[in-house]
Structure 1
Amino acid sequence: MADNLTKYREKRDLKKTAVPSGGASVKSSNGRRFAIQKHDSTRLHYDLRLELDGVFKSCAATKGPSLDPQDKRLAVEVEDQPLDYGDFEGTIPKELYGGGTVLLWDRGYWEPELNKSPEQALAKATSSSLLEGTGCTVFVLVRMRGNEDEKRTNCS
């Protein structure tokens, strides 16, 4: 797990911000957790975090979640986050990476598509996962295949 958080720690000055370092013990869960955080930093966006392999796999979407099943939202994969970030709310100083206010918008549990492992569900193009939260009801995620020359992966 520690190796999964290298990029996370390199981007942050953990001595100057209240964001979790990943060192805290997080109570185990019977399900795979997810969190959606509204992050008002340089540009307002929503961070989607899905628990897998001891970290939150994370994506950022500039448009918030929608309750209309016809709406589509693009999310771009970002570095893994520690599990204790799923409860984080607060203000990151503006001069630091990710500076701005973070609010917990929803949280709950996610399940991969039937007959898929969690790893397959997040890695495969056209694979979907269900999110069941306290405020969101249900969302379906579909990974979009990017071009080979793209530096980022889409995860919406």
Structure 2
Amino acid sequence: MSLKKYSEKRNFNSTTEPKGDAVKPKKELVFVVQKHAASHLHYDFRLEMDGVLKSWAIPKGPSMNPADKRLAIMVEDHPYDYKDFEGIIPEGNYGAGKVIVWDNGTYTLADTQEEGDIKSDLEKGKLGIILKGHKLKGEFTLVRLKGKQENAWLLIKKNDGDGSYDDVLLQDKSVVSHVTLEDL
């Protein structure tokens, strides 16, 4: 897992995004969901793996409704330090727009607690995870779509008792700064 693509897309002289390096994984794996008003509003779903954040852009945002299947486009890995990034990416930069930490927390694998299986499951195209966040809780599955572009996945909430028909996206404040995108 490399940060080369991440670094190539950014001009660190004009953006406050972290340069970051891969870090040694902590005992608990972290996840973050950043609400990002760039050319189109979307949510960036990031899972810590091997000291970086594997990342997917979710155009409609995550859902707690097990009936919803949300398209998730895998994008470049991000540095671990990006998990705390909030702010405005200036015009003329990749991803220009406002970013808040919409949700964060820790996660484990749903089927096994073996950290080494994360990469294997990811390569196979199916990753079951249990999120322990402020807004997102319970079991989810990331599934790579077959016959589509290599980076197209679905994020699906499992019917596990934590699901809800309520629109979780209405909880629009940052879990870090308690501001909305509009407040930035």
TM-score w.r.t. length of structure 2: 0.75
The residue aligned with 2:134 is 134
CA contact (8 A) 1:61 1:75 kept: yes
The residue aligned with 1:95 is 92
1:111 to 95, 99, 108: 108
Aligned residue-pair number? 152
The residue aligned with 2:59 is 62
TM-score w.r.t. length of structure 1: 0.87
Matches within 5 A, 1:3-152: 4-23=2-21, 29-115=26-112, 117-147=117-147, 150-152=149-151
Structure 1 unaligned segments of length 5 or more: list them. Answer: none
Q: CA deviation at 1:44?
A: 0.4
Structure 2 unaligned segments of length 5 or more: list them. Answer: 156-184
Percentage of identical aligned residues? 41
Q: CA deviation at 1:71?
A: 1.2
DSSP-derived class of the 1:95 partner: coil
Following TM superposition, where does structure 1 have runs of at least 4 consecutive aligned residues deviating by more than 6 angstroms?
none
2: CA distance between counterparts of 1:125 and 1:28? 22
Q: CA deviation at 1:68?
A: 1.5
Q: CA deviation at 1:132?
A: 1.6
Deviation string 1:107-145 (CA, Å, 9 cap, x unpaired) is 111112323611123222344222221222224023123
Cα separation, partners in 2 of 1:139 and 1:102, compared to 1, 3 Å = farther
Larger displacement relative to structure 2 (6-15 or 137-146): 137-146
Q: Give the AA of the match of 1:18.
A: T
DSSP-derived class of the 2:3 partner: helix
CA contact (8 A) 1:124 1:143 kept: no
2: CA distance between counterparts of 1:155 and 1:122? 13
